[in-house]
C-alpha cells in the first residue's frame, strides 16, 4: 500500500538500530586503510626525518609541503600507484560484499552480524556488480557533458581574466547542477539495489526487473526523498571537509593522535550519513505500491544461512543384513 510516512527520522532510527553494520563497515575500511597506506607512511616519515621539509611543520601549514612530499614519495622505490590500484580493487570488492548484506538486514529486519553480511553479500555479489556497470555507463552519459560544459565555462572565465571569488561564484551554479544530477542518479541506483534485494527474497534473480519498480517508487514520491538524500549527501561532505580543515590547522601541533581522531570522526560521520541514506531508501521502497514488482503479494521471507550438513549418527543405528551364504 502506498503511504506518505516520514522518511528522515525513521531512517535514522533504522540505521542506528542496525549499528553493527556501521561498526563492521567502519572497522573493515579502517583496517584496509592502515594496511594499504603502511608503505606510503614509511616513505613520508623517512622523507620528513631526513630533509628540511619537516621544519615547515613547526611554524604552521605550508602548501608547498604537499608538492615536495608528493615529489619525494615518487622517487624509487615507489609503490604508491600500485598500492592505489590494488586498494581500489579491494575496497570495491568489500563494498560489493557488505552493501547487499546491509540492505538485506534493513529490508528483513534481521541482525547485521558479520557472518550474515558476508553470506548475503556473496549471494548478491554479481547482481550488484552488474548494477554498478550500468550505473557507470549512465553516470558517464549524463554527467560527462555537464562536466565538460563546466570545464568550458571555467576556461572561458580564466581567459577573460576572471579569477578568485568572482570565478568561484560564476562557476558555482554549474557545479551545484552537476552535484544535484549526481545525487538524483545515485538515489535511483540505490533504489535499484534495494529492489534487487526484495526481488531476491521472492526468488527472482533477474536484475533488470528492479529498474522499473525503482523508477516508479522514485516518481511516486520524488520531492521528499530527493531533498532528504541531497541533504544527507552534503552533510557527509561537510563532515569530511570540516574534519580535514581542522586537521590541517593542527599539523603544527606535536603528536598525530589528535589529527588521526579528527579525520576518523569525519569519516565515521560521513559513513553514518551514507547508512542513513540506505535506510531512507528502504523506507521509500516499503511505501511504494507492491504491484510494481509483478510478483506475488506474500510478505518477504528472509533467506536463512545454509547450515552445515549434519554428520551421520555414530554408532550407526541402521541395521545391515547379514550376507547370504550359499549352501553347497
CB burial class (10 A; 0-12, 13-18, 19+) of residue 139?
A: middle
What phi, psi does 211 have (nearest 5°)? -70, -45
Q: What is the mean pLDDT of residues 303-326?
A: 48
Per-residue pLDDT, 291: 52
| Residue 317 pLDDT > 50 | no
Q: Are 278 and 5 in contact (CB under 8 A)?
A: no
Q: What DSSP designation does 163 have? A: -
**SS3 state of residue 320:** coil
Lowest-pLDDT range of 56-60, 106-110, 242-246: 56-60
Q: Are 20 and 112 in contact (CB under 8 A)?
A: yes
- Dihedral angle, C-alpha 214, 220, 224, 230, nearest 10 °: 30
**SS3 state of residue 9:** helix
Q: How far apart are CA 146 and CA 210, in angstroms?
A: 27
Lowest-pLDDT range of 6-20, 55-69, 198-212: 55-69
| Highest mean pLDDT out of 62-71, 153-162, 197-206 | 197-206
CB burial class (10 A; 0-12, 13-18, 19+) of residue 219?
A: exposed
Distance from first CA to last CA of the chain, Å, rounded? 81
- Dihedral angle, C-alpha 239, 137, 133, 235, nearest 10 °: 10
**pTM of the entire predicted model:** 0.77
Each residue of 203-248: pLDDT tens digit?
888 899 999 999 999 988 888 899 999 999 999 999 998 988 887 7
**SS3 state of residue 27:** helix
Region at 324 (left for phi over 0; alpha for psi -120 to 50; beta for the rest): beta
pLDDT band at 71 (very low <50, low <70, confident <90, very high): low
Cell of 93: 570488492
Which residue, 239, 230, 319, 320, is CA-closest to 280?
Answer: 230
pLDDT band at 41 (very low <50, low <70, confident <90, very high): low
Residue given cell 534481521 in the structure block: 110
Q: Which residue has the higher pLDDT, 252 or 172?
A: 172
Amino acid at each position: 500500500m502506498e503511504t506518505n510516512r516520514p522518511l528522515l527520522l525513521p531512517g535514522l532510527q533504522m540505521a542506528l538500530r542496525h549499528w553493527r553494520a556501521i561498526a563492521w563497515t567502519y572497522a573493515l575500511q579502517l583496517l584496509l586503510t592502515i594496511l594499504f597506506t603502511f608503505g606510503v607512511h614509511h616513505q613520508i616519515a623517512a622523507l620528513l626525518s631526513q630533509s628540511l621539509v619537516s621544519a615547515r611543520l613547526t611554524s604552521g601549514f605550508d602548501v608547498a609541503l604537499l608538492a615536495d612530499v608528493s615529489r619525494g614519495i615518487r622517487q624509487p622505490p615507489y609503490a604508491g600507484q600500485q598500492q592505489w590500484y590494488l586498494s581500489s580493487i579491494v575496497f570495491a570488492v568489500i563494498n560489493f560484499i557488505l552493501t547487499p548484506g546491509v540492505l538485506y538486514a534493513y529490508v528483513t529486519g534481521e541482525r547485521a552480524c558479520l557472518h550474515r553480511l558476508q553470506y548475503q553479500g556473496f549471494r548478491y555479489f554479481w547482481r550488484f556488480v552488474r548494477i554498478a556497470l550500468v550505473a557507470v555507463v549512465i553516470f558517464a552519459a549524463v554527467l560527462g557533458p555537464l562536466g565538460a560544459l563546466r570545464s568550458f565555462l571555467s576556461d572561458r572565465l580564466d581567459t577573460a581574466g576572471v579569477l578568485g571569488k568572482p570565478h568561484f561564484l560564476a562557476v558555482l551554479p554549474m557545479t551545484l547542477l552537476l552535484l544535484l544530477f549526481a545525487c538524483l542518479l545515485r538515489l535511483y541506483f540505490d533504489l535499484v539495489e534495494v529492489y534487487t534485494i526484495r526481488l531476491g527474497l521472492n526468488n527472482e534473480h533477474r536484475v533488470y526487473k528492479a529498474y522499473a519498480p525503482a523508477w516508479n517508487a522514485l516518481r511516486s514520491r520524488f520531492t521528499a526523498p530527493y531533498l532528504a538524500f541531497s541533504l544527507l549527501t552534503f552533510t557527509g561532505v561537510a563532515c569530511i571537509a570540516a574534519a580535514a580543515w581542522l586537521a590541517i590547522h593542527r599539523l603544527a601541533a606535536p603528536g598525530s593522535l589528535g589529527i588521526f581522531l579528527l579525520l576518523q570522526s569525519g569519516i565515521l560521520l560521513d559513513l553514518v550519513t551514507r547508512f542513513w541514506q540506505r535506510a531512507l531508501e528502504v523506507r521509500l521502497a516499503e511505501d511504494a505500491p507492491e504491484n510494481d514488482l509483478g510478483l506475488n503479494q506474500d510478505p518477504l521471507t528472509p533467506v536463512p544461512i545454509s547450515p552445515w550438513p549434519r554428520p551421520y549418527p555414530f554408532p550407526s543405528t541402521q541395521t545391515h543384513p547379514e550376507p547370504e551364504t550359499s549352501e553347497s
